[in-house]
Amino acid sequence: MRLRTLVLLVALFCGAFYWAGGQLSTLVSSDKRTQVTQLVNTGIGLSKDTVSTAGRLTRLFHIKEAVAQARQGRPTVPLRNIPLPLQQAILAMEDQRFYQHCGIDPEGILRATLVNLQSGDVVEGGSTITQQLAKNLFLSQEQTLGRKLEEALLALALERAYTKEELLELYLNSIYFGSGAWGIADASQRYFGKASSDLNLAECALLAGLPNAPSLTSPLEYPQAARQRRQLVLDTMVKRGLIGPKQAQEAAAQQLVP
């Protein structure tokens, strides 16, 4: 396991060095002082590619400022006001080793691949919560090597800048829950008409099942799929000792949404 992690980190470092070196060359190809002065002055006179490159590099080294800008104007629910069952359910479904990895989890990727192959469906994702956060805040949904590399680098930067609790809070306030709901505050109101602090176990389980495929499991559009996904979350929580079988049975019997 340690060897796999070391190989991955070396590969990421080499990729980052190659990527950043190639990108930086566009900034120093002409007089450096002129370029830097132009960049400070809102990029006037620079090409769009150069400004975009500078923005990506700046984001890596000033990640907190980039996060604040990306989340400007969006509501934030403190982690202490988000029910523990929702936090536990999200971690159980999205990132079981969240508190052990450094933002990238080779073991999690391997486990998710095996689980998905055995089930014949996408039950678990390989990306960590930190990677998903990086993607949601800064990147597109395109599946390219360059985008995945940038996502990994941003995840490492996020892990250096924030505690695990801060990252989980950012994630829950940034993730898409379907039906136009971004973040836990919006999702709680959209689906249940209440504050996130008032969510019960059944509602927590429902919300925890949405990020995997929000457009296909929305309880407003696909109630049967949403019910099945909620059941999977409850079963997973029982399996991990987070709740008891009776609690899961009672939660599964409740209606999806009011």
SS3 state of residue 157:
helix
Domain residue spans of the chain: 177-258
What are phi and psi for residue 31, nearest 5 degrees?
-55, 115
**What does the pLDDT average to over 238-258?**
96
| Residue 116 pLDDT | 60
pLDDT surpassing 70 at residue 68: yes
For residue 176, the cross-strand partners are: 182
Q: What is the mean pLDDT of residues 50-78?
A: 79
**How much is the pLDDT for 124?**
54
Q: At what angle do helices 145-161 and 129-138 cross, to 10 degrees?
A: 110
Once rounded to an integer, what is the mean pLDDT over residues 145-171? 92
Contacts of residue 155, defined as CB under 8 A and 6 or more positions apart, other chains included, come to 103, 104, 128, 130, 131, 133, 134
Give pLDDT tens digits for 211-222.
999 989 999 999
* pLDDT band, very low/low/confident/very high, at 164 (cuts 50, 70, 90): very high
Q: What is the pLDDT of residues 103-117, one digit of tens each?
A: 988 776 676 667 666
pLDDT reading at 40 higher than 80: no
| Rounded mean pLDDT, 51-58 | 56
- pLDDT grade for 62, boundaries at 50, 70 and 90: confident
- Sign of the C-alpha dihedral, residues 191, 195, 200, 206? positive
Classified by CATH at the fold level, domain 177-258 comes out as Penicillin binding protein transpeptidase fold (1.10.3810)
For 183-207, how does the pLDDT look when each residue is reduced to its tens digit (9 = 90+)?
999 999 999 999 999 999 999 999 9
* Long-range interactions of 45-50: CB distance < 8 A, separation 24+: 50/26
Ranking 57-61, 71-75, 104-108, 121-125 by mean pLDDT, the lowest is 121-125
What would the pLDDT profile of 71-86 be if each residue is shown by its tens digit?
Answer: 998 989 999 999 999 9
Among the listed residues 155, 145, 61, the one whose alpha carbon sits nearest the alpha carbon of residue 108: 155
Computed over every residue of the chain, the mean pLDDT equals 80
pTM of the prediction? 0.75
Q: Which comes out higher in pLDDT, residue 29 or 99?
A: 99
Q: Which is more confident, 108 or 122?
A: 108
